[in-house]
Amino acid sequence: MIVYPNCKINLGLHILRKRADGYHDLETVFYPIGLKDILEIIPNHSDETGKEILFTQSGLEIGGDPENNLCVKACHLLKKDFPDLPPVRLHLHKIIPTGAGLGGGSADAAFTLRLLNDLFKLGIDTDTLIEYAAQLGSDCPFFILNTACFAGGRGEKLEKLEPGLKGYQVILVNPGIHIPTGPAFAALHPNLPTKSLKEIILQPVHTWKDELVNDFEKVIFPEHPAIGAIKDQLYRSGCHYASMSGSGSTVFGLYPSGKEIRPDFPAHYYIKNVPA
């Protein structure tokens, strides 16, 4: 069985406070967009290695030990509660850039949970899938719902909403800079915003420029000026709103549908245009 885990952008991101458990309380709007990986899971009856999970990967390179891949961790997580799950062969073709603030790894993990649930008819309801996903990462629960959501807590408290993005297209620009999430959080000074993101997001898109902010830009742009320059260039090219997604390094711009976009970026930059 094959599924297509999509990525997300963050429409605004406020880091409110550091918690006693080491995580941060935040508020953001997760918005799904149509850049997708490819994930296949099949029963592995013929495997002679004795492995419960045989993981292979193609496409963009993923660093680290394959056993630490979130898809593999998702399989082990369900295996603990469903010991009769048969061995599986799992293949991930990676298209979404990693370390880019797009949540690709979180999407792969959440879709693994969903696919195992469907493939083996485990009968896990949505709320319980969200609980499993929260054990894998703060962004993972969103991809169980996979619809526009206001998120609170550390990202697991989700409330469905619909920002007014009908009639817009999204351009993603990634300069190939990997931003580790941990140091990015450590450099931030959390603070409470004067105006709730939930209130701002319901305003017309053309009003977002001066109010809808991603707190990570304050620490990432000085450290990596090339990322801030992308945002400036998108505004010069006529977008209605531009922002870094998550903790970076992808910057997105919202343009009216049908507008011809001619971004002037270095040839090695990753650039993708998708409907909103």
**Triad 40, 45, 51: Cα angle to 5°:** 80
The residues carrying an active-site annotation are 8, 139
What's the per-residue H, E or C state across the chain?
A: CEECCEEEEEEEEEEEEECCCCCEEEEEEEEEEEEECEEEEEECCCCCCCCCEEEEEEECCCCCCHHHCHHHHHHHHHHHHCCCCCCEEEEEEECCCCCCCCCHHHHHHHHHHHHHHHHCCCCCCHHHHHHHHHCCCCCHHHHHHCCCEEEECCCCEEEECCCCCCCEEEEEEECCCCCCHHHHHHHCCCCCCCCCHHHHHCCCHHHHHHCCCECCHHHHHHHCHHHHHHHHHHHHCCCCEEEECCCCCCEEEEEECCCCCCCCCCCCCEEEEEEC
Q: How far is CA 179 from the centre of its chain?
A: 14
Amino acid in position 145: L
Q: Which two tokens stand for residue 113?
A: 């949970």
Chain centroid to Cα 130, Å, comes to 15
Burial 35-49 (b: 16+ CB within 10 A, else e): bbbbbebeebeeeee
